[in-house]
Amino acid sequence: MTDLKTATIIPETTSEIAVWRLLQDMGFRYKTSQRKMYLAKESIDVVCRRIGALRALKRHRKDGREIEYVDETWFTTRMSHNREWVDTAQPATSATHSRQVPPGEGERFVVVAAGTANGFIEGSFLCYPAKSTSGDYHGEITGELFIRWLTTQLLPLLPEPSVLVLDNAPYHSQLLDEFRCRTTATKKADLFTWLQSRRIPAPDGATRPELLLICQQNRPKPQYIVDNIIREWGHEVVCLPPAHPELNVIEQVWTCMKRHVRSSFQRFTRADLQARLEEAKLLATESVWGSAVKRSRAFEDGYWSMDNIQEPVGPIIIKLDNDDEDIEDLYLDDDDDENE
């Protein structure tokens, strides 16, 4: 009010109520102001990893390689929908009112499998009970267990050459010991040893932070245990960037299977879960997988456009039918014309 009167925008005798009414007539309302929204911005590392994965998938498809989608998930003996049809004519305590879901989390089972556009790879389905019923199910899978499943149940079944699509789970990304870079927890003597083993010079009297900086500057390109095993079997691997489940087709198949298990549970026991899982596997037909592949490819196309990815252009080779003498004659004729 004072600022408006000082700037002679309103007369000195104008009351505060009159200003309020004027603002109301103009469409203004006194309410909580809108907070500024902050959107999570992807790091350049994630964007570059996504671009690399998209290019690799396109290259492998062009080469005619079969794409195998690998992933893990979980099921519990208490899975049910939050909302479902109930008989309101019956009392809530009646067994016919709705399904009676027992209390608690129930038993949790971890499932590991792989599939293609044609369906699950026969023999790759692994299901085992977890030790805990809460928390991240990834903690129930160790690198040793995953590698054992990979080498005994999956890789022997794949036609060569294939391409395995993996997400960013920690047991997929275990580094080989010789490719582990030193960290702030590494002792000074170990830093010296690491540099000497790679014949990297270190200045005399270098402090521990200086040695660590030299190690980080000479960090080797990482190599992963799982990737090397897959390549030893004659296959390739494409690692998806973090938080990109839409690019892994099997994630959508898990969703369909869980929807069936939630809807068909009756006794909520281990045997009931195993029976429902077998049904869900049969329902994950080639048509379901094909639709999931189509949807995932649509996401890929969207990222190609969003990231403005350009196809690399190879060298252009021009073949001349004329021999060298004809070419020389051609230039000589041009020179003669100019002299004339």
Q: Give the whole-angstrom CA distance, residue 113 versus residue 214.
A: 42
Q: Pairing between strand 108-116 and 162-166?
A: unpaired
* Assigned domain for 281 exists: yes
pLDDT at 157: 93
* Assigned domain for 32 exists: no
pLDDT at 327: 37
* Assigned domain for 324 exists: no
* Assigned domain for 156 exists: yes
Q: 161: cis peptide before it, omega within 30°?
A: yes
pLDDT at 313: 57
What's the token pair of residue 258?
């869980």
How do residues 9-63 score in pLDDT, each as one tens digit? 778 888 888 888 887 888 777 766 555 555 567 889 899 999 999 999 999 999 9
- Residues present in the chain in total: 340
What's the token pair of residue 230?
């897959």
Q: Give the whole-angstrom CA distance, residue 128 versus residue 148.
A: 14
pLDDT at 117: 94
The DSSP string of 44-64 is HHHHHHHHHHHHHHHHHHHTT
- Reduced to 3 states, what is the DSSP secondary structure of residue 221? coil
Q: What is the CATH number of the domain that holds 135?
A: 3.30.420.10
**Boundaries of domain holding 262:** 44-81+102-306
How do residues 220-267 score in pLDDT, each as one tens digit? 777 889 999 999 999 999 999 999 999 999 999 999 999 999 999 988
Average pLDDT over residues 102-117: 92
Q: Radius of gyration of the chain from Cα atoms? A: 32
Q: 203: cis peptide before it, omega within 30°?
A: no
DSSP H or E segment with residue 70: strand 66-76
Q: Which range is least confidently modeled, 61-65, 66-70, 176-180, 212-216?
A: 176-180
Q: Which range is least confidently modeled, 13-22, 87-96, 148-157, 316-325?
A: 316-325
Average pLDDT over residues 62-72: 95
How do residues 269-326 score in pLDDT, each as one tens digit? 999 999 999 999 999 999 999 999 999 999 999 999 998 887 765 565 656 555 544 4
Average pLDDT over residues 132-140: 77
pLDDT at 9: 78
Average pLDDT over residues 97-105: 81
pLDDT at 182: 66
Say how many domains are in the chain: 1
Q: Give the whole-angstrom CA distance, residue 148 versus residue 131.
A: 19
Strand partners, 75: 109
**What percent of the chain is modeled with pLDDT above 70?**
86
Q: Give the whole-angstrom CA distance, residue 276 versus residue 106.
A: 15
Q: Which of the pair, 12 or 166, is modelled with greater confidence?
A: 166
How do residues 198-228 score in pLDDT, each as one tens digit? 888 888 888 888 888 888 888 777 788 999 9
pLDDT at 181: 64
Average pLDDT over residues 80-92: 80
pLDDT at 316: 55
Q: In the predicted model, what is the mean pLDDT of the chain?
A: 84
pLDDT surpasses 90 at 178: no
Average pLDDT over residues 129-157: 88
Residue 272: Cβ within 10 Å count: 15
- What letter represents residue 6's amino acid? T
* Assigned domain for 317 exists: no
